[in-house]
Structure 1
Amino acid sequence: MASTAAASGGERVVDESAYHFDAFRLDPRRGVLEAEDGTVLPLRPRSYELLRHMLDRPHELLRREALLEALWPGLAVTDDSLTQCISELRQAFGSRGSAVLRTLPRRGYVLAANVRREAPPADPPTAPAAARPTPTLAAAPGRDLLVIEALEPASADAAGQQLARALGAELLVTLSRSEIMRVLTRRPVPAPADCYRLCGAMLRAGEEPLLSLVLEDAETSRVLWADRVALPAGSGRDDALAVLLARLEMHVTGEALHRARHKAPEARRPHDFILLGRELHERGGEANTLEARQHFLRAIAMDPSIAVAHAFHAFTVIRFLTHGWGGGDRDVQCRLALDIAQRAVELEPRSALCQSALAFALLHLGRWEEAVEAARASLRLSSLSAIGTRTACAEVLAASGEAAEAAAALQAAIALDPFCPPRSRAVLGRALLLSGRREEALAELHRADARLPDYAPCLRSMVVAAVELGRMEEARDALARLRRLQPNWLPNNRQALAFLRDERDLERFVAAFEACADAVNPAS
C-alpha cells in the first residue's frame, strides 16, 4: 500500500517519508497520525492502513470494493468493517473530517486534501527539521505532558527494527487514549517544568516481545518508575497495554498531585486545581465536594477552554443534588448540570470523561435513551484505567435497565485497580444487585462500606441485598445507619428512587425498605 522508490541495484524499497495533508501529518516510520502540534491521534492498525492507502491516491475516487480488497485481501468481510474505519478517521480529523474525507453515495470515498511528502531526515540528522512547528505547553491544557521516545529495537536487522516500530505504534495508540496525559513524540520548546519522558527498549522473551520502560522527569531525568512488560500476542497484548497505561497514569498523577500540593496557590496552573479537585471529589462527602467544586471553578476561571474542568464541575452539581446538600430546585440544578456537561462535550467531543458527565446529567433528567447512548460512547472512548469515568457510565447503565452491561464494564476496570475508590465498588455492587447477583453484590458493597462508611447510596443497596438474601439483622443495621445520615429519608419515598428507570427495580427497593423499616427506631 505504501509508495515505493527505486534503490541501488534496481531493488525497490518502501518509502518511509512522512505525508503532510490539511492540518495533519502521517509518519510511516513510527506508524502514527499527528496533529499540527505533534499530538498523536489514535488509530487502529487497519484504519491507519486505510489512511495511508488513500494518501497515496489523493483526489481519486476509491470504490468500496477496491478498498475492501486492498485492506482485507482474500478475506470475506462486510461493508461495516470499512465503514468503521472511515468513521474512526473522521473522528480523528475532528472538525476537519468532512473536508478531508468525502463520501460519494453508492460510489466510494475521496481523500480531498492536497498531499505533500516530506523527505526523510538524514541518518543521523545534520540539522533540526524546520518543516513542522514545535509543540508548546499551550498545546496541552488540562493534562500532564508525556513525551514518548522511539523504542530501541532488539536487534539492528530489518525485522528487529520493524517490530520495534510496530510495538511503538501500538504503545502510542494506547497511551494517547489517556485523559490524564497528553502524549507528544517530541519534547516541547521551551520545555515546561511539569513534563515527563517515557523511553525504553524492546527485548526478547522467547516468542514474546518484552518492553523495558523507564518513566523520567523530563527536566531533571529523575526516574519515577521502571519496569519490564511482556506483550503476548492477540487479546492478551491489549490487556497488557491497558495495565501499562494504568500504571503510567498512576505514577504521573501521583507525581503531579504531589507537586500541585506543594506549590504556592498563586503559582498553580489550571491543571493543578483540576488534580486537587479530582482527589477531593473521589473522597466524597459534602465538605470535600464543596472544596473540589471551588478548585474546578478556579481552573475554569483561569482557562475556560479546559473541557475536563467543566465535566468535573457538572459532576459536583449532580452530587449536591442527589445528596440533598444546599437545597435548591431539583429541575433547575439538573438543567444546570446538563448545560455544563454539554459545554464540556462541545469543547472536547472525543473525551470519555466529558461524555460520561453528559450521560450522568441526562440520567437525572429522565432522558434514558440519550443517557445510555452517551454512556456507551464514553466507554468506547475510555481506557480501562479510567475508573472514575467507567464508574459514572456503569451507574447510568445500571439505573437505565442495563445492569449486566454496567457490571461487566466496571469489573474489567476494577480488575486493573483493586484499590480503586470505594464509590466504584458501591456502584458495581448496585449493578450486580440489579442484575440478580445478590451474593456478589453484597460482597462488593461490604468492601465499599469498609472504606466509605457514610455513603448513603451504598447503604441503600446493602438494605436491599441483605433483605433479599434473608439477612434481616444486617438489613436493619444498614437502614438504621442510613437514617442517622438522612433523618428525613422515608423508605417509601419513590421520588428519591426516581433514578431507576425500570418499575420492577423500584419496587424491589421499596419492598426491601418496608420489610425491615418497622423494626428500626428512626431516632436510634
Structure 2
Amino acid sequence: MSRKAPEIDPKSAEMISVDGFVFLTKSKELRTVEGKAVNLRSQSAEVLSVLAARPGEIVSKDALMQAVWPDTFVTDDSLTQCIADIRRALGDDAHVIVETVPKRGYRLNADPSDAADPNAAAGTERAKTRSSRRGFILAAIVLVAAAIGAYYGAEIWRAAPVRSTDMPRIAVLPFDDMSAGGDRGYLGDAVAEGIITELSRSKTYAVIARNSSFKYRDQPVDTRQIGDELGVDYLLEGSQQKIGDRLKVTAQLLNAHDGSHLWANTYNREIGDLFVVQEEIIRTLADRVGRRIERPLPQSGAAQVSALRYHLMGIAEIRKDNSAAGSELLRQFSLKAIEADPNAQFGYIGLAWSYRFDAVFGWHEQEHDRDEALKRAAEYADKAILLAPDDAEAHHVRARIHTEAGEIEQALARFDQAIALNPSNSNILVGSTDPLLYVGRIDEAIDRIEQAKGVDPFHPDWFHWQMGWALWEKYDCEAALTAMRKMSRILSGAYRMLAGIHACLGNEREAKEALAVFLQNSPGESISKERREWEKIWTAPGSLERWIGHMRIAGLPE
C-alpha cells in the first residue's frame, strides 16, 4: 500500500542548488555546477529527491521510509546507507549539507531559488559564496552537536524498527527453564520457539524473530525498553518446568508501551501435551489483541515431544560447533529422534541438514561425495515434508538442497513456501536470497534482506555479508564494503567476499590480504574449482566471469 505523506509532496522547483551541485528534481539527477553527472544509487537519489522537495525543512525518518520504501519492510539501515551515499557524493563529511536533526529526521540545507542552468559559470561563483558560509555553519553545528550528544547520549542515533504492516507487533521472550537436575534444559526453548512459529504463521501478528527476542535471555525485563528497542506493541514472557512426566508452563502478556499486564495463565499438563499448551497460549493471545484463530488442536504425544527434544539437542550442537564433528553429533541426535518417534518430522529434518552440510563443506568425503550427500539430504527432507507439510524448517532445508544442486526454480518455490509458513524466520528470508542472486534478481534479494532486518533488529552478522554480495552484484561496491564493515567480526568465509569487493574497487593490496585470510581455512580453493561448482548455478549474465576476474586480481590460484 502506498503511504506517501503530505509533507513530502514535491514543490515546483525543477532544480535545487546544493553547495556546488545541482539536483534535477524531475530526472532525479545530481550534477556539478559545471554539468558533470555525479553517480548516485537509485534509492539514494530517491531519498535526496524527498529531501529536495522540502529544502531547509526537517523531514522525519518515517516520512522518508514511507516515500522511498512504501511497501517494503526495511530497517533504518537502508536509510542510513542512502544518507551516507548522498553525503559522500556531495563531499559532506561534516554533515552540514544533509543535516541530522536528532530524534526528528534530516534536513537538506539547500536553496531552490538558486536553481539555474548547471552549465552556467555563475553557478561556480555561487558555490564559492556558499563555501564561505559553510565554515560558520560548520562551527555552529559542531557546538550544537556536542551539546545534543551530551544530553541524549550514544543511543540517540538508533531508530526503532520500521513497520511493514498495521498488524500488532509482538516479541516472544525466551521462557525461563525452572526444571531441576537432569530435567533442566530438557526442552530448551521449545515452548517459546513453537509459539513464535505458530503466531507468525497465523498472520495475526508481525512477530519478531527468535534471534532478536532471545537476546534478552537472563536479563531483567524492562518492558518499555525492550518495546522501544524491538519496536513492538506486546511482549510474551513466561517459564517452563519439567517434573518427571509433568510439564508446567506459565505465560503472561504485557503491553510494551506502558508495562501493564494484559493476561496471565498457568498450565499443568502431561509432558505429551506440549503442543496443545502452545496452541492454547496462541489462541488466547489472538483473542486478546488480534483476531480469533479457528483451527483444530494439534496432535501431541510423549513420543513426539521426545523426538523434538533430541532434534533441539542436535541443532544446539551444530550451532555451537559448525564443523564435521558438530554435523556428526547432529546426525546422531537425529537418529535418536527418529527412534523415539519415526512418524515425527524432527529427526529427518536434522539428517537433511547434516548431509547438506557434508555436501557444502566437503565433510565425510571418505564416506560419500558431494552428489551422494545431496541425494541423501534430499531424501530425508522429502520425508520430513511428507510427514509435516506445514513445517517451515522442512521446506527451508529442502530449498537449501535444491540451491546446492543447481535447481534454482525449485529452490525459489520451496523458499516461498517456507516463508509463507513462518514469515518471522529471518534466517529463511536471508537464505532465500542465494538463489535470487544467482539468477540476477538483485532488488528482490535486497528487499528480503531488509525485510529480515525488520523482523530481526539484532540480526546476525552474516546478514551484512549477504548484503555485501547483493550490492557487489549491483555494481555498488562502495556500499558493499560499507555493509561488510558493519559486521562485528568478519567471519572466515566472508573474507572471500571482502576480497572480491576490494578487487571491484581497485584496492588490489586489500583484496590480496583479505583472500589470504580466507585461504588459511580453505587452502584448496582455486579459480577452476569455483568455476566448476558455480557455472551451472550462478547464471546471472556476466556475474560469474566478473567474480572470476576479481578473484584473479585478489590472487586466487588457477
* TM-score, normalisation: structure 1: 0.49
* TM-score, normalisation: structure 2: 0.46
Which structure carries more relative contact order (alpha carbon 8 Å, separation 6+)? 2
